[in-house]
Structure 1
Amino acid sequence: MIELFSFEFIRNALIASLLVSIASGIVGTLVVVNRLSFIAGGVAHAAYGGLGLAAFLGWSPMAGTIPFSLASSLLIGFISRNQKERADTIIGVVWAAGMAIGIILIDITPGYFTDLMSYLFGSIMAVSGNSLLWMAVLDICVIALISFFFKEILAMSYDPEFASLRGIPVRFFYYMILCMVALTVVLLIKAVGLILVIALFTIPASIAELFTNNLQRMMIWSVLLGCVFTTGGILAAYFLDLTAGATIIMFACCAYGISYSVKKVLYRKRNRGLTPQPPLRAR
């Protein structure tokens, strides 16, 4: 087992799992608490348009993906707030259009042969030192923003109307969360892939939400669970010769299923004694 850590790619993958878990755990908690999972999925898939735009213009992937993803997040956020009746439909259109634009732009770019599947599934076992640096910068920025605005984010996450009455700019923080989602997706998508980013946004935070409604504890538990899922998935994938991303996701999904079942059992046991019993009939 100790020999395993002599391989640089394993060390980098485990460091990446920690860095990915911090950003996705914190931002994912905000996504789950504010019921933004579908919106986050739309933003994540729209990032493909930025990849195609960067390839077409001859830019680095990040130079095209960051502005495109930020613009998509603001557009999706505006639609979800102002067209609530048809928000799901319109977000689905933006979701599909972003991916289609990206693929078409890459198709018409001469001499571009990068496999788009690498952005869909990622390759955490081949993460570079430069990617680790960007992940660390992302974690620092996310922690700093959340620490500075924690009280305001807490208020708008649980009662936006009351927060607005208190003078908190709810709309600003709503868009700020979406921009954090966009930047997190962009900086993690190459390393871990689009599917794993969405899974790490939602599954650890959803498990944490089953057992606590305290925002700070949810974030901490989401980060810890993310570390467990990614580290466990990487090690299992290595020893069983499986794809790391898919193994991590299955590990997380199984954990959610078990946690949900345990929560249901505990809830029934706790409320069994509170259920009124029908009166006994006289014999």
Structure 2
Amino acid sequence: MLSPADFLADLLNPDLAFLPKALAVAMMSSLVCGVIGGYVVLRGMAFIGDAVAHAVFPGLAVAFVLQGSLVLGGAVAGVLTAVLVAVFAQNRRLKEDSIIGVFFVAAFALGIVIISRAPGYAGSLQQFLFGSITGIPDEDVLVVAGSGLVLLTVVFLLHKEFVLVTLDREMARAAGLPVFALDVVLYVCVAVAIVISVQTIGNILVLALLITPAAAARLLTDRLGVMMLLAPVIGSASALVGLYLSWSADLPVGGMIVLVATAVFLLAWFFAPRHGLVPRRLTRERVREQPAGQRR
């Protein structure tokens, strides 16, 4: 196993320039997904994250066929699908998850058809599905950084509105907030966060980067502000540790990042101070041991 000091030396090695670039993209993606994932977990809309992750696939396929930017192609497809879901979901005859199911299956099928017509698609399909963090071009690093900065700015400006719509849509309407417009903006934010993360851990695993750190943070605190800070910290730390373990043991980067984040979630599930399984059991045992007259 590579020591942390040796890993740091490799990060500073000019001959391994792709390694710090991979770390930068992984941490930026994890940070952005951690912030957006807070709203996704609070709203119980993990399925929309899965839908958008599949919806970016035809955009990636078109970009590959045209030899264009994968980030730009995925962004166009993801944003378009997110807007369509928001529009069609306004018809309350069908629930939101039904609309999402229709569009993400159709989008993923379209992507498979498109990329199957391109020569050499098999290797590219693997790259789309599982990520290729060590082969990210320099221009995509700048796109990820710029997109992430814009996304975090939007979230900062609309945080209160997002929270109100997430927790009580009817109150938000009564307060005069444009609920539909905020839905569209939030869906687009989810789409962009997923698109800039696809090259890090791939189309299949990207949902974990969006959900798992935020879910772990949700177990660790009851305060929304603290949760929104903890989620990106957990995501970024998972990216750092995951890349280190991947580089040390020659394992897939995306898989290791997700497994580290999952390990943090499991630790929170069992040992979170108020909501962990172990503290809750200990509390119940203490209550049972108290004399009946002292129980509240």
Q: Which amino acid aligns with 2:44?
A: R
The RMSD of aligned alpha carbons is 2.6
Tell me the equivalent position of 2:245.
Answer: 236
Q: Structure 1, residues 67-125: CA drift from partner, whole Å, max 9, x if none?
A: 32212112223344434655434422322221111111122246767611101111223
Partner of residue 3 from structure 1, selected from 9, 16, 36: 9
* Equivalences for residues 116-155 of structure 1 within 5 A: 116-155=125-164
Secondary structure of the 1:168 match is coil
- Work out the percentage of aligned pairs sharing the same amino acid: 28
- 1:78-89 alignment, distance < 5 Å: 78-83=87-92, 85-89=94-98
Give 1:7-86 correspondences, 5 Å limit: 7-55=16-64, 60-83=69-92, 85-86=94-95
Q: TM-score, normalised by structure 2?
A: 0.84
Q: 1:132 to 1:51 in 2, by over 3 A?
A: closer
Kindly report which structure 2 residues correspond to 1:180-219, keeping only aligned pairs within 5 A, or say none: 180-219=189-228
Q: Give unmatched runs, 5+ long, in structure 2.
A: none
- Within a 5 Å distance, the mapping from 1:152-191 to structure 2 comes to 152-191=161-200
Map Cα deviations across residues 26-75 of structure 1 (whole Å, 9 max, x no partner).
11111111111001101110111222344556654445433322121122
Equivalences for 1:78-117 in 2 at 5 Å? Answer: 78-83=87-92, 85-109=94-118, 115-117=124-126
Aligned-partner Cα distance in 1 for 2:161–2:98: 30
Gap runs ≥5 in structure 1: none
The change in CA–CA distance for 1:84 and 1:24 in structure 2 (over 3 A counts) is farther
In 2, are the aligned partners of 1:131 and 1:191 still within 8 Å (CA)? no
Q: Are 1:264 and 2:277 an aligned pair?
A: yes
- From 261, 274, 280, give the equivalent of 1:252: 261
Distance 2:210 2:291 in 1: 45
Task: Give how far 1:157 is off.
Answer: 1.8
Query: Alignment length, in residue pairs?
Result: 280
Contact 2:34/2:228, CA 8 A, preserved across alignment? yes
Q: Is the 8 A contact 2:220 2:268 kept in 1?
A: no
Q: Partner amino acid for 2:9?
A: E
1:122 and 1:189 in contact (8 A); partners too: yes
What is the rounded CA distance, in whole Å, between the counterparts of 1:18 and 1:163 in structure 2?
34
Distance 1:155 1:277 in 2: 41
